[in-house]
Structure 1
Amino acid sequence: MHNNVDDLNHLTTEFPDNSKLKLINESKLKDLRKVLLELQGGFDAITGLTLKYEDSVVDHKHRMNKRQILGDNDGGLIRQILDFRINSFEGKVVNAYHRYGLSKMGTPLPDLLRKLADYLEAPTTNIIHPTEKPKALVIGKRQFNKLNKLYHTKYPKRKVLAYPHKGKIGKGVLEFLDEFKMRDEVINNQLKS
Protein backbone atom coordinates (compact mmCIF):
# COMPACT_ATOMS: atom_id res chain seq x y z
CA MET A 1 0.00 0.00 0.00
CA HIS A 2 1.32 3.42 -0.96
CA ASN A 3 1.60 6.34 1.37
CA ASN A 4 -0.78 8.24 -0.92
CA VAL A 5 -0.12 11.71 0.50
CA ASP A 6 3.60 11.32 -0.20
CA ASP A 7 2.77 9.97 -3.68
CA LEU A 8 0.67 13.04 -4.41
CA ASN A 9 3.33 15.39 -3.08
CA HIS A 10 6.16 13.91 -5.13
CA LEU A 11 4.04 14.01 -8.31
CA THR A 12 3.22 17.71 -8.02
CA THR A 13 5.03 21.02 -7.71
CA GLU A 14 3.95 24.25 -6.03
CA PHE A 15 1.99 26.67 -8.19
CA PRO A 16 3.98 29.94 -8.36
CA ASP A 17 1.10 32.35 -7.64
CA ASN A 18 -0.71 30.39 -4.95
CA SER A 19 0.80 28.13 -2.30
CA LYS A 20 -2.45 26.16 -1.94
CA LEU A 21 -2.47 25.03 -5.58
CA LYS A 22 -0.14 22.42 -7.02
CA LEU A 23 0.85 21.71 -10.62
CA ILE A 24 1.26 18.34 -12.27
CA ASN A 25 3.07 17.67 -15.53
CA GLU A 26 1.44 15.68 -18.31
CA SER A 27 4.18 13.05 -17.91
CA LYS A 28 3.12 12.36 -14.29
CA LEU A 29 -0.63 12.33 -14.91
CA LYS A 30 -0.74 8.52 -15.36
CA ASP A 31 0.95 8.04 -12.00
CA LEU A 32 -1.47 10.49 -10.38
CA ARG A 33 -4.39 8.59 -11.91
CA LYS A 34 -3.12 5.35 -10.31
CA VAL A 35 -2.71 6.97 -6.90
CA LEU A 36 -6.12 8.70 -6.98
CA LEU A 37 -7.86 5.53 -8.21
CA GLU A 38 -6.27 3.66 -5.31
CA LEU A 39 -7.45 6.39 -2.91
CA GLN A 40 -10.97 5.89 -4.31
CA GLY A 41 -10.73 2.17 -3.53
CA GLY A 42 -10.77 1.26 -7.24
CA PHE A 43 -14.28 2.63 -7.76
CA ASP A 44 -15.69 5.25 -10.15
CA ALA A 45 -16.39 8.45 -8.20
CA ILE A 46 -19.89 8.88 -9.67
CA THR A 47 -21.32 5.38 -10.24
CA GLY A 48 -19.50 3.62 -7.41
CA LEU A 49 -18.81 0.73 -9.78
CA THR A 50 -15.48 -1.07 -9.90
CA LEU A 51 -13.19 0.78 -12.29
CA LYS A 52 -10.31 -0.73 -14.27
CA TYR A 53 -7.27 1.50 -14.60
CA GLU A 54 -7.36 1.26 -18.41
CA ASP A 55 -10.97 2.58 -18.43
CA SER A 56 -10.22 5.47 -16.07
CA VAL A 57 -9.51 9.14 -16.70
CA VAL A 58 -8.54 12.09 -14.51
CA ASP A 59 -11.54 14.40 -14.35
CA HIS A 60 -11.17 18.13 -13.80
CA LYS A 61 -13.50 21.09 -13.55
CA HIS A 62 -13.14 23.25 -16.65
CA ARG A 63 -12.78 26.98 -16.35
CA MET A 64 -15.74 28.95 -17.67
CA ASN A 65 -13.37 30.93 -19.90
CA LYS A 66 -9.64 31.53 -20.26
CA ARG A 67 -9.86 34.74 -18.21
CA GLN A 68 -11.07 32.82 -15.16
CA ILE A 69 -8.24 32.58 -12.62
CA LEU A 70 -7.11 29.03 -11.97
CA GLY A 71 -8.70 27.79 -8.77
CA ASP A 72 -11.51 30.37 -8.72
CA ASN A 73 -14.72 28.40 -8.30
CA ASP A 74 -12.43 25.32 -8.59
CA GLY A 75 -11.84 26.05 -12.30
CA GLY A 76 -8.99 24.00 -13.78
CA LEU A 77 -8.67 21.75 -10.71
CA ILE A 78 -8.65 17.95 -10.73
CA ARG A 79 -11.66 16.36 -9.08
CA GLN A 80 -11.49 12.56 -9.09
CA ILE A 81 -11.09 9.51 -11.30
CA LEU A 82 -13.98 8.49 -13.53
CA ASP A 83 -14.77 5.87 -16.12
CA PHE A 84 -14.05 7.50 -19.50
CA ARG A 85 -17.71 7.08 -20.53
CA ILE A 86 -19.00 8.70 -17.35
CA ASN A 87 -16.50 11.53 -17.83
CA SER A 88 -17.80 12.09 -21.36
CA PHE A 89 -21.41 12.03 -20.12
CA GLU A 90 -20.60 14.51 -17.35
CA GLY A 91 -19.00 16.85 -19.89
CA LYS A 92 -22.02 16.69 -22.19
CA VAL A 93 -24.38 17.46 -19.29
CA VAL A 94 -22.32 20.48 -18.19
CA ASN A 95 -22.02 21.75 -21.77
CA ALA A 96 -25.76 21.34 -22.41
CA TYR A 97 -26.51 23.23 -19.18
CA HIS A 98 -24.63 26.24 -20.55
CA ARG A 99 -25.51 25.83 -24.24
CA TYR A 100 -29.26 25.79 -23.61
CA GLY A 101 -29.04 28.83 -21.33
CA LEU A 102 -30.07 26.91 -18.23
CA SER A 103 -27.22 28.51 -16.27
CA LYS A 104 -29.02 31.86 -16.70
CA MET A 105 -32.25 30.56 -15.14
CA GLY A 106 -30.88 30.82 -11.60
CA THR A 107 -30.81 27.14 -10.64
CA PRO A 108 -27.27 25.80 -10.12
CA LEU A 109 -26.49 22.65 -12.11
CA PRO A 110 -26.19 20.32 -9.07
CA ASP A 111 -29.62 21.47 -7.82
CA LEU A 112 -31.10 21.09 -11.29
CA LEU A 113 -29.74 17.53 -11.57
CA ARG A 114 -31.13 16.55 -8.16
CA LYS A 115 -34.52 17.94 -9.16
CA LEU A 116 -34.28 16.16 -12.51
CA ALA A 117 -33.56 12.85 -10.74
CA ASP A 118 -36.62 13.39 -8.52
CA TYR A 119 -38.71 14.29 -11.56
CA LEU A 120 -37.63 11.16 -13.47
CA GLU A 121 -38.69 9.00 -10.52
CA ALA A 122 -42.00 10.80 -9.95
CA PRO A 123 -45.26 9.08 -10.92
CA THR A 124 -46.75 9.78 -14.34
CA THR A 125 -50.33 10.51 -15.37
CA ASN A 126 -52.40 7.79 -17.06
CA ILE A 127 -52.62 9.76 -20.34
CA ILE A 128 -50.78 8.48 -23.42
CA HIS A 129 -48.84 11.15 -25.33
CA PRO A 130 -49.94 11.45 -29.00
CA THR A 131 -46.49 10.45 -30.30
CA GLU A 132 -46.68 7.22 -28.26
CA LYS A 133 -50.10 6.24 -29.59
CA PRO A 134 -50.11 2.52 -30.40
CA LYS A 135 -50.23 1.48 -34.03
CA ALA A 136 -53.63 0.60 -35.40
CA LEU A 137 -54.26 -3.12 -35.20
CA VAL A 138 -53.94 -4.62 -38.68
CA ILE A 139 -55.35 -7.93 -39.85
CA GLY A 140 -53.85 -9.93 -42.69
CA LYS A 141 -55.96 -11.40 -45.52
CA ARG A 142 -55.50 -14.98 -44.29
CA GLN A 143 -56.64 -14.12 -40.76
CA PHE A 144 -59.49 -12.00 -42.09
CA ASN A 145 -60.70 -14.88 -44.28
CA LYS A 146 -60.57 -17.18 -41.23
CA LEU A 147 -62.60 -14.62 -39.25
CA ASN A 148 -65.08 -14.25 -42.11
CA LYS A 149 -65.53 -18.04 -42.27
CA LEU A 150 -66.25 -18.24 -38.52
CA TYR A 151 -68.54 -15.23 -38.79
CA HIS A 152 -70.46 -16.65 -41.78
CA THR A 153 -70.80 -20.06 -40.06
CA LYS A 154 -72.30 -18.46 -36.94
CA TYR A 155 -74.34 -15.83 -38.80
CA PRO A 156 -75.21 -17.40 -42.20
CA LYS A 157 -77.97 -14.90 -43.01
CA ARG A 158 -75.80 -11.83 -42.45
CA LYS A 159 -73.80 -10.08 -45.13
CA VAL A 160 -70.14 -11.20 -45.39
CA LEU A 161 -67.63 -8.84 -43.71
CA ALA A 162 -65.72 -6.51 -46.02
CA TYR A 163 -61.92 -6.46 -45.71
CA PRO A 164 -61.02 -3.20 -43.93
CA HIS A 165 -59.07 -0.49 -45.77
CA LYS A 166 -55.32 -1.30 -45.49
CA GLY A 167 -56.28 -4.07 -43.07
CA LYS A 168 -56.85 -1.57 -40.24
CA ILE A 169 -59.28 -3.06 -37.78
CA GLY A 170 -62.27 -0.96 -36.78
CA LYS A 171 -64.57 -1.39 -33.80
CA GLY A 172 -66.95 -3.81 -35.58
CA VAL A 173 -64.23 -6.23 -36.71
CA LEU A 174 -62.58 -5.96 -33.28
CA GLU A 175 -65.80 -7.11 -31.60
CA PHE A 176 -65.87 -10.19 -33.83
CA LEU A 177 -62.18 -10.90 -33.16
CA ASP A 178 -63.04 -10.93 -29.46
CA GLU A 179 -66.16 -13.02 -30.01
CA PHE A 180 -64.19 -15.66 -31.92
CA LYS A 181 -61.17 -15.33 -29.60
CA MET A 182 -58.83 -14.28 -32.43
CA ARG A 183 -57.55 -10.96 -31.05
CA ASP A 184 -54.37 -12.46 -29.51
CA GLU A 185 -53.61 -14.30 -32.77
CA VAL A 186 -53.87 -11.05 -34.77
CA ILE A 187 -51.77 -9.12 -32.23
CA ASN A 188 -49.07 -11.82 -32.18
CA ASN A 189 -49.01 -11.87 -35.99
CA GLN A 190 -48.59 -8.08 -36.07
CA LEU A 191 -45.73 -8.25 -33.55
CA LYS A 192 -43.90 -10.79 -35.74
CA SER A 193 -43.96 -8.52 -38.80
Structure 2
Amino acid sequence: MNFRPGLPCAVLLLSACAATPRTPSPPVPATPPPPVHATVGTAQEAFVPLASASGSLVSGRASLLAADGGVRVTGEVGGLVRNGAHGLQVHERGDCSAADASSAGAYFDPAAGADQRGVVAGAGTLRIVADAEGVARFDLQVPGAVLGGGAANDIAGRALVVSGATPGSFSARVACGVIRVVR
Protein backbone atom coordinates (compact mmCIF):
# COMPACT_ATOMS: atom_id res chain seq x y z
CA MET A 1 0.00 0.00 0.00
CA ASN A 2 1.25 3.39 -0.91
CA PHE A 3 0.97 6.01 1.81
CA ARG A 4 0.56 9.66 0.89
CA PRO A 5 1.25 12.08 3.72
CA GLY A 6 -1.18 14.79 2.50
CA LEU A 7 -4.16 12.45 2.00
CA PRO A 8 -5.35 12.32 5.66
CA CYS A 9 -5.30 16.15 5.81
CA ALA A 10 -7.36 16.43 2.65
CA VAL A 11 -9.92 13.93 3.97
CA LEU A 12 -10.08 15.83 7.26
CA LEU A 13 -10.61 19.18 5.47
CA LEU A 14 -13.33 17.78 3.20
CA SER A 15 -15.19 16.25 6.12
CA ALA A 16 -14.99 19.57 7.99
CA CYS A 17 -16.53 21.38 4.99
CA ALA A 18 -19.38 18.91 4.82
CA ALA A 19 -20.17 19.48 8.51
CA THR A 20 -20.22 23.29 8.21
CA PRO A 21 -23.83 24.53 8.29
CA ARG A 22 -24.88 26.36 5.16
CA THR A 23 -26.68 29.67 5.27
CA PRO A 24 -30.08 29.15 3.68
CA SER A 25 -30.86 31.15 0.57
CA PRO A 26 -33.44 33.86 1.12
CA PRO A 27 -36.89 32.73 0.01
CA VAL A 28 -37.94 33.83 -3.45
CA PRO A 29 -40.84 36.28 -3.06
CA ALA A 30 -44.06 34.95 -4.46
CA THR A 31 -45.35 36.78 -7.49
CA PRO A 32 -48.73 38.23 -6.64
CA PRO A 33 -51.53 36.89 -8.79
CA PRO A 34 -52.66 39.21 -11.54
CA PRO A 35 -55.66 41.34 -10.62
CA VAL A 36 -58.93 39.85 -11.75
CA HIS A 37 -61.57 41.55 -13.82
CA ALA A 38 -64.38 42.95 -11.72
CA THR A 39 -68.00 43.29 -12.68
CA VAL A 40 -68.48 46.17 -10.25
CA GLY A 41 -66.02 48.81 -9.04
CA THR A 42 -65.86 50.52 -5.66
CA ALA A 43 -66.82 53.96 -7.03
CA GLN A 44 -69.96 55.18 -8.74
CA GLU A 45 -68.81 58.43 -10.32
CA ALA A 46 -65.69 60.10 -11.71
CA PHE A 47 -64.89 63.39 -13.42
CA VAL A 48 -62.30 64.34 -16.04
CA PRO A 49 -61.28 67.90 -16.89
CA LEU A 50 -59.77 67.70 -20.37
CA ALA A 51 -56.91 70.13 -21.05
CA SER A 52 -55.28 70.90 -24.39
CA ALA A 53 -52.27 68.93 -25.60
CA SER A 54 -49.98 69.04 -28.63
CA GLY A 55 -50.47 72.80 -28.99
CA SER A 56 -54.19 72.48 -29.67
CA LEU A 57 -56.98 74.70 -28.34
CA VAL A 58 -59.08 71.65 -27.40
CA SER A 59 -60.57 71.43 -23.91
CA GLY A 60 -63.64 70.05 -22.23
CA ARG A 61 -64.97 67.82 -19.51
CA ALA A 62 -66.36 64.34 -19.07
CA SER A 63 -68.41 62.67 -16.36
CA LEU A 64 -68.17 58.95 -15.83
CA LEU A 65 -70.83 56.84 -14.15
CA ALA A 66 -70.75 53.16 -13.26
CA ALA A 67 -73.23 51.30 -15.47
CA ASP A 68 -74.22 47.74 -16.27
CA GLY A 69 -71.53 46.23 -18.48
CA GLY A 70 -69.16 49.19 -18.35
CA VAL A 71 -68.75 52.86 -17.57
CA ARG A 72 -70.96 55.54 -19.13
CA VAL A 73 -69.02 58.59 -20.35
CA THR A 74 -70.87 61.85 -21.03
CA GLY A 75 -69.39 65.23 -21.77
CA GLU A 76 -68.48 68.01 -24.09
CA VAL A 77 -65.24 68.90 -25.88
CA GLY A 78 -64.64 72.11 -27.82
CA GLY A 79 -61.94 73.43 -30.13
CA LEU A 80 -62.11 70.34 -32.36
CA VAL A 81 -61.93 70.17 -36.14
CA ARG A 82 -65.38 71.31 -37.30
CA ASN A 83 -67.66 68.55 -38.54
CA GLY A 84 -64.85 66.08 -37.89
CA ALA A 85 -64.71 62.68 -36.24
CA HIS A 86 -62.32 62.36 -33.30
CA GLY A 87 -61.25 59.58 -30.99
CA LEU A 88 -61.84 59.30 -27.25
CA GLN A 89 -59.72 56.66 -25.50
CA VAL A 90 -58.70 55.49 -22.05
CA HIS A 91 -54.90 55.35 -21.72
CA GLU A 92 -52.85 53.28 -19.29
CA ARG A 93 -51.39 56.01 -17.06
CA GLY A 94 -53.06 58.95 -15.35
CA ASP A 95 -50.32 61.34 -16.40
CA CYS A 96 -50.96 64.19 -18.82
CA SER A 97 -47.78 66.11 -18.00
CA ALA A 98 -46.09 65.79 -21.41
CA ALA A 99 -46.93 68.55 -23.89
CA ASP A 100 -48.16 65.94 -26.38
CA ALA A 101 -49.84 63.77 -23.68
CA SER A 102 -47.47 60.90 -24.48
CA SER A 103 -46.97 60.54 -20.71
CA ALA A 104 -50.45 58.96 -20.61
CA GLY A 105 -48.89 55.87 -22.17
CA ALA A 106 -50.54 53.46 -24.53
CA TYR A 107 -54.19 52.81 -25.20
CA PHE A 108 -55.82 50.82 -22.37
CA ASP A 109 -58.43 48.20 -23.22
CA PRO A 110 -60.46 47.26 -20.11
CA ALA A 111 -61.37 43.94 -21.72
CA ALA A 112 -57.67 43.00 -21.86
CA GLY A 113 -57.03 44.49 -18.39
CA ALA A 114 -53.46 44.67 -17.19
CA ASP A 115 -52.20 42.55 -20.10
CA GLN A 116 -52.06 44.95 -23.04
CA ARG A 117 -49.93 42.74 -25.30
CA GLY A 118 -51.46 42.52 -28.73
CA VAL A 119 -54.02 45.24 -28.10
CA VAL A 120 -54.37 47.35 -31.21
CA ALA A 121 -54.47 51.06 -30.45
CA GLY A 122 -57.72 52.38 -31.73
CA ALA A 123 -59.51 49.02 -31.55
CA GLY A 124 -61.70 50.34 -28.74
CA THR A 125 -61.65 54.01 -29.63
CA LEU A 126 -64.93 55.74 -28.87
CA ARG A 127 -65.91 57.95 -31.78
CA ILE A 128 -67.01 61.51 -31.11
CA VAL A 129 -68.09 63.91 -33.84
CA ALA A 130 -67.75 67.69 -33.66
CA ASP A 131 -70.50 69.92 -34.94
CA ALA A 132 -70.12 72.98 -37.20
CA GLU A 133 -68.78 74.94 -34.21
CA GLY A 134 -66.10 72.33 -33.39
CA VAL A 135 -67.94 71.06 -30.30
CA ALA A 136 -68.62 67.39 -29.63
CA ARG A 137 -71.26 66.36 -27.10
CA PHE A 138 -71.21 62.69 -26.28
CA ASP A 139 -72.92 59.94 -24.29
CA LEU A 140 -70.96 56.73 -24.76
CA GLN A 141 -70.00 53.58 -22.88
CA VAL A 142 -66.60 52.03 -22.20
CA PRO A 143 -67.54 48.34 -22.31
CA GLY A 144 -66.11 46.07 -19.62
CA ALA A 145 -64.69 48.93 -17.51
CA VAL A 146 -65.29 49.61 -13.81
CA LEU A 147 -64.52 52.60 -11.57
CA GLY A 148 -62.31 51.98 -8.53
CA GLY A 149 -61.16 48.87 -6.71
CA GLY A 150 -57.91 48.18 -8.53
CA ALA A 151 -59.17 45.33 -10.72
CA ALA A 152 -57.50 44.73 -14.07
CA ASN A 153 -60.37 46.54 -15.82
CA ASP A 154 -60.48 49.54 -13.44
CA ILE A 155 -60.12 52.85 -15.31
CA ALA A 156 -60.06 55.18 -12.27
CA GLY A 157 -56.75 57.05 -12.15
CA ARG A 158 -56.01 56.45 -15.83
CA ALA A 159 -56.12 59.12 -18.55
CA LEU A 160 -58.87 59.98 -20.98
CA VAL A 161 -57.38 61.23 -24.25
CA VAL A 162 -58.98 62.98 -27.24
CA SER A 163 -57.33 62.32 -30.59
CA GLY A 164 -57.46 64.98 -33.28
CA ALA A 165 -58.94 64.31 -36.68
CA THR A 166 -57.31 64.25 -40.05
CA PRO A 167 -59.07 63.02 -43.19
CA GLY A 168 -59.46 59.25 -42.87
CA SER A 169 -57.57 58.76 -39.63
CA PHE A 170 -56.94 59.84 -36.06
CA SER A 171 -53.80 61.81 -35.35
CA ALA A 172 -52.25 63.70 -32.44
CA ARG A 173 -53.47 63.61 -28.87
CA VAL A 174 -55.19 66.98 -28.65
CA ALA A 175 -56.58 66.84 -25.09
CA CYS A 176 -55.91 64.79 -21.97
CA GLY A 177 -57.30 64.49 -18.47
CA VAL A 178 -57.02 62.14 -15.50
CA ILE A 179 -60.07 60.12 -14.44
CA ARG A 180 -60.68 61.19 -10.80
CA VAL A 181 -63.20 59.41 -8.60
CA VAL A 182 -65.84 61.74 -7.14
CA ARG A 183 -67.83 59.19 -5.14
Short-chain TM bin: under 0.3
| Structure with the greater alpha carbon radius of gyration | 1
Greater percentage in strand = 2
What's the TM-score, normalizing by structure 1? 0.19
What's the TM-score, normalizing by structure 2? 0.19
Q: Tell which has more relative contact order, 1 or 2 (C-alpha 8 A, sep 6+).
A: 2
Greater percentage in helix = 1
